[in-house]
Structure 1
Amino acid sequence: MGEQVRNASIEILLYWNVELNMPVVTADELHRTAKYFMDSGKAASHAEAMTILESFSLSIRVSESMRSSPLEQTALFTLVNLASRTFLGGVEVVGAPDCVATSPLYDGRNIRDVVVELGGKHSTVDGEPSICPVVLIGDATPSPNAAPQWRLTWSGWRGGVVMEGQRRLDERRAIGLAPVLASAVCATEAFAFFSKMHALAGRRPAGLSLWNPDADWSYDFGEPELTYLPASLWLIGLGNLGQAYAWAIASLDFDGAQKAKLMLQDIDRIGVSNHSTSLLSFPKDAGARKTRVLAEWLEQRGFETMLEERLFGDWSRRTVSEPGVALCGVDNAEARSALDRAGFGLVVEAGLGAGLDSFQSIGIHTFPASRTSGLIWGRQIGQSNPSYRNAPAYLSLAKDGMDECGLVRLATRTIAVPFVGLVAGCLVVSEVLRRLHSGRAVEVLSVSTLALADAETVWATDAEPYAFGFVHCRRSE
């Protein structure tokens, strides 16, 4: 893919402090996608798992229409951000225009500069033809190679991918979440293709409707035009999921003078391993508090932020002047069991699977509901993640001198990928948007990103009208 992509591989490997003859890695440095190959036995060491990720590369081709399409820009920025964290062989962008972006994510910034900032490398159509899988945005010309070629597509509240030559959706009008969702689905399919997790990956269309998650995503079932956006939200947990929520919220068409007020709650600092899972965690921010980093990023985009740097738990209480809607993305049962006792009028929370067979799974709950949060998660307090301590990769680390404490910490870390978190983020944020537009309310939703067509939804039968404040969506020209 050229010298630029080879340089990208070197930079990522240096960041992770990994060399082929350097097998020891701590739990705080672990690339959380590499852990999939370690736990499954496909890699005999962390270095070998990283070598597998280094063999994954992606080429993104865009067209001139991106100059005037905020939706295409949002799709590009999202996909580069996701892919550069996982496909360590490099992410090249072919044909990115040298102009100012109008996407809410990076409004006023040069598109080419943003691509580089997010981990991508530029290439030209006249350069060496790519031999890796290709993603097409807009009317980009397909590559002459024989690798899979996904085309991002979206319309209304729907987003996904089709294979080149298959029918696209009408991409002219959509909510800001639709291209974000399309990019997350694309990254999921690309990872499934590279890792051979699904036989049809790279050969099938895949997508989701945020208005009707259990319906066929290729059809419009009466989706309304986006008119209202939430006036305030409380984000509990700012890791993989919380940062996905922030990215999804920032993609929406808020009016510049009326953006949401956001309460950001977390106690942790950004670590080295967060770069592999979380969309707003970059190497330069390692050691900084997550609340401060996200606040700076959001305030640059016009949002007003408030910070809560304490643990959320049974002692947490919302005051009348604080946001009445909470989006929760924490992964511990004690905090989740307290969600419906903190005084929120609405809670939307997501949880991700952790093990070999479940890390692509998403579960969504909302409260108030027919079951309390304590009933759902109370019995899980104190339970730990499954350990793959006896997999070959960990035996190799033990042989190379890692002590038992380090091995246990490493083995019990969860497998995590940024694109699953972002699909969940789109579902969580769209739940608020759907209720704002008098759509059906979800009580429970379960889906795997490997089988988006099989989403299972329990619709709430007695949800109250949304009464937590709104601002008007900016009208497109």
Structure 2
Amino acid sequence: MKLIESLNRTVKLALDDGSAGSLEEALARFGGFHIQIIVGEEVTHNLALQAYLQTVLNAAPRTFRGEVTIAGSLDFVFGSSWHMGQTLLATAKSYGVYPESVNSSKATLVVGQSSVEVKSFAFALYVQCTTNGFVLSPDPLELSAQDASGVVGVAAAGAALNECFQYLYFKKTWAGQRLIEYDFPVALTGGTVPDSLRVIGLGHLGQAAVWTLGFVQSWMRSACRLVLQDYDLVSESGLSTGLLTDLSSVGQLKVDAVKGYIDRLMVDSSVIATRMELDSETFVSESVCLVAVDDFFFRKKLDRLRGTSLIEAGIGEGVLGFTKFQLHVFPGKRLASDVWTGSSEKSTKPIQISAPAYQKLLHESSDECGTTQLAGRSIATPFIGAFAGAHLVAYSMCHSSTEVDAIALDVNSLH
């Protein structure tokens, strides 16, 4: 298998920023990243915290390649969503997360009220889910709101894992030490699930949106018609970011892999395994389309997609951009063709292979084309995808009432 199809998309950061002299060195570095999860009793009856916990269990092992462990109240059974009917312990093991005694040297996420004393830990982060957002703090927090949405829990997990990553990888002194109080730009209370929804693009962002839908109880109970559209196959590399893929998914069409997960929820869905063409006006029957396609020229043509409300999002690129995301709602105050003007910076900017790891690969393979292709692949993380995917879903529930039709956020700048 070619390296471009197997390389972990987050590990690639160490190649791009020049901190690793080889792929082996990058893998060894990520193999040293350990985190632990401490679970309190509160989780057993709070949907948002269950969404937070399941998202952490799913996303963390894809990035923190050393070890992810869990401790605390592990015997309760999930009453809804992706792991309905499973115990927390069985769910954790399904992601390769195993129980272990609490270790003060590990980066720690505390979920729910816990009696474990973590003041002496170098990194410990508490979470509180509120009606329209979340709080992350190194100090204990109040109980989470009982009416907090699962959408909030997914976004909070994405932000919390980013704090862990900034602490372990970049050694940022602020990571895990600051108070983050975040509210969604749209009001989640009173939001309704559209009667029909199409997700276009099932890479890590599109999968994160569908993953988030699994925690929206009103969607689970509704007759919403869900359509999945993508033409690409799941690669081994995609497992590092795709929340709805596992080893059995490799080689499958992404639409089939994701539908396989949705079928577990006993929710009806259909697939379109072709590229969405926008060379001329294209009409769709779904009331809302979530667009998660990483293609400048496709986005530029979104005005041609008719008969629907569009919510489009994308993740930033490069060593300094992978924690950023932007979202647009169409029709809105601007046309898509006015948002994306000129040519794609990505397509015109030369790809650099001067970093030590790429020079080593080039020396070993003598394949300049292949090395350049690898260097051109985007850095991506499952946790930034989760944060952005939660926003796609939030906007799909409030698409007819929101006045904020564009946002741009850097998860590192939350406060």
- Normalised by the size of structure 2, how large is the TM-score? 0.93
Measure, in 2, the Cα distance between the counterparts of 1:297 and 1:61.
27
Match of 1:463 in 2: none
Match of 2:180 in 1: 206
Q: 292-301 vs 336-345, which deviates more?
A: 336-345
Q: Does 1:64 align with 2:37?
A: no
RCO higher in structure (CA 8 A, sep ≥6): 2
Q: Does 1:80 align with 2:42?
A: no
Tell me, yes or no, if the aligned pair for 1:349 and 1:365 is still in contact at 8 Å: yes
**What is the CA distance between 1:96 and its match in structure 2?**
4.1
Measure, in 1, the Cα distance between the counterparts of 2:88 and 2:341.
47
Measure, in 1, the Cα distance between the counterparts of 2:352 and 2:208.
27
Measure, in 2, the Cα distance between the counterparts of 1:46 and 1:96.
38
Gap change, CA 1:174 and 1:316, over 3 Å in 2: farther
Measure, in 1, the Cα distance between the counterparts of 2:339 and 2:137.
37
Match of 1:301 in 2: 265
Tell me, yes or no, if the aligned pair for 1:435 and 1:441 is still in contact at 8 Å: no
**What is the CA distance between 1:402 and its match in structure 2?**
4.5
- Write the mapping of 1:365-444 to structure 2, written as runs, cut at 5 A: 365-377=328-340, 379-380=342-343, 383=347, 387-435=351-399, 438=401, 440-444=402-406
Amino acid paired to 2:295: N
Gap change, CA 1:297 and 1:384, over 3 Å in 2: farther
Gap change, CA 1:282 and 1:96, over 3 Å in 2: farther
Match of 1:107 in 2: 84
- Write the mapping of 1:304-319 to structure 2, written as runs, cut at 5 A: 304-315=268-279, 319=283
Gap change, CA 1:277 and 1:128, over 3 Å in 2: closer
Q: 93-102 vs 75-84, which deviates more?
A: 93-102
Residue of 145, 150, 153 corresponding to 2:128: 153
Match of 1:174 in 2: 148
Partner of 1:380, secondary structure, is: coil
**What is the CA distance between 1:104 and its match in structure 2?**
2.0
Measure, in 1, the Cα distance between the counterparts of 2:89 and 2:18.
39
**What is the CA distance between 1:27 and its match in structure 2?**
1.0
Give the % identical residues.
27
Measure, in 2, the Cα distance between the counterparts of 1:128 and 1:253.
33
Gap change, CA 1:285 and 1:207, over 3 Å in 2: farther
Amino acid paired to 1:298: I
Amino acid paired to 1:365: H
Q: Note the alpha carbon deviations across 1:157-216, whole angstroms, 9 max, x for none.
A: 202411124x4464332011111111111001110111226431121122421145xxxx
**What is the CA distance between 1:247 and its match in structure 2?**
0.8
Gaps of 5+ in 1: 1-16, 18-24, 213-222, 454-477
**What is the CA distance between 1:258 and its match in structure 2?**
1.8
Amino acid paired to 1:338: K
Greater helix percent: which structure?
Answer: 2
Paired residues, number: 413
Partner of 1:365, secondary structure, is: strand
Measure, in 2, the Cα distance between the counterparts of 1:423 and 1:270.
22
Match of 2:226 in 1: 262
Measure, in 1, the Cα distance between the counterparts of 2:171 and 2:376.
22
Match of 2:247 in 1: 283
Measure, in 2, the Cα distance between the counterparts of 1:36 and 1:163.
27
Residue of 92, 101, 115 corresponding to 2:69: 92
Partner of 1:228, secondary structure, is: coil
Tell me, yes or no, if the aligned pair for 1:259 and 1:302 is still in contact at 8 Å: no
Gap change, CA 1:300 and 1:154, over 3 Å in 2: same
Match of 2:110 in 1: 136
**What is the CA distance between 1:318 and its match in structure 2?**
5.3
Match of 2:205 in 1: 241
Q: Does 1:451 align with 2:402?
A: no
Q: Does 1:344 align with 2:307?
A: yes
Measure, in 1, the Cα distance between the counterparts of 2:363 and 2:115.
50
Tell me, yes or no, if the aligned pair for 2:327 and 2:406 is still in contact at 8 Å: yes
Measure, in 2, the Cα distance between the counterparts of 1:188 and 1:29.
23
- The RMSD of aligned alpha carbons is 2.2
Q: Does 1:328 align with 2:291?
A: yes
Measure, in 2, the Cα distance between the counterparts of 1:28 and 1:178.
32
**What is the CA distance between 1:259 and its match in structure 2?**
4.2
**What is the CA distance between 1:237 and its match in structure 2?**
0.3
Measure, in 1, the Cα distance between the counterparts of 2:296 and 2:16.
24
Tell me, yes or no, if the aligned pair for 2:209 and 2:392 is still in contact at 8 Å: yes
Match of 2:93 in 1: 116
- Normalised by the size of structure 1, how large is the TM-score? 0.81
